[in-house]
Amino acid sequence: MSFLSAIILGIIEGITEFLPISSTGHLILFSKFLSDSTQSINVEFIKNFEVFIQFGAIFSVIILYWHTLKNNFDLIKKVLFAFIPTAVVGFILYDFIKRYLFSEHVVLWSLFVGGLALIIFELMHKEGNAVEKLEDISYKKAFLVGIFQSIAIIPGVSRAAATIVGGMLLGFQRKTIVEFSFLLAVPTMAAASGLVLFKNINQFSANQFNILGAGFITSFIVAILTIKLLLKFIKHHTFINFGVYRIFLAIIFWLLITRSV
């Protein structure tokens, strides 16, 4: 993988991680086409890179929400409580997911079906009496959101989309569930990225560490901008456009993959 590819994928990660359109799905799809232009493809490193650069997005949340979290231990406990379902499912199925589900076909189906679900549940959502503040989220609802997030271990589902749909079904306002999704991303992605680093740190060359660093820095900067723009966007818009985008992207890549076979 070249530095240019690392930067491009870092931009994709930074934009897509907190949007309900699946960062992992985008990285898998675009990695395939970036890799197709190279002579030597290290598939295993690309898979590890796709997970590791999520660290950049994690730090963007920590920096932006530091003041919200530093003296709010109750909210931190709720976030960790919501993380439990994903931690259990991910620990049990990690090797299976990495070996069998990191494929273009799984991603495309997940994008398409997830897009339909996002549109349907958005149309059903009533914003009026929904939960308005992060502090008002109960431990029960936090855990239920965590169960929805665990579905996103399937590449292409989107962690953000799963938590947003779950939050809307549980009666959260859009801004509230989006911000809780940001916070829930921290332990979730830290665990996933940390596991990759722990299992593979001795296998990375010096050049590969430099490539990981380039992806990390790029995703960090872009993620900060994306979070700020998303919070402004949802004040006046719904998530339907993201559902339409997912469906459109799945169809386009189906056509591209079909033609390349």
Q: For residue 218, give its domain range.
A: 3-260
Please check the confidence at residue 20 and state whether its pLDDT lies above 50. yes
- Candidate from 43-52, 180-189, 203-212 with smallest mean pLDDT: 43-52
- What's the structural domain count of the chain? 1
What does the alpha-carbon distance between residue 144 and residue 52 come to, in Å, rounded to a whole number? 27
Helix (H, G, I), strand (E, B) or coil at 172: strand
Q: Tell me what the mean pLDDT of segment 29-52 comes to.
A: 67
Q: Tell me what the mean pLDDT of segment 69-81 comes to.
A: 93
Hey, how many other C-beta atoms are within 10 angstroms of the C-beta on 136? Answer: 12
Helix (H, G, I), strand (E, B) or coil at 173: coil
Q: Tell me what the mean pLDDT of segment 229-247 comes to.
A: 95
pLDDT confidence tier of residue 194, bands split at 50, 70 and 90: confident
pLDDT confidence tier of residue 73, bands split at 50, 70 and 90: very high
Sequence-distant (6+) residues with CB within 8 A of 131 are 137, 141, 170, 171, 172, 173, 176
pTM value is: 0.86
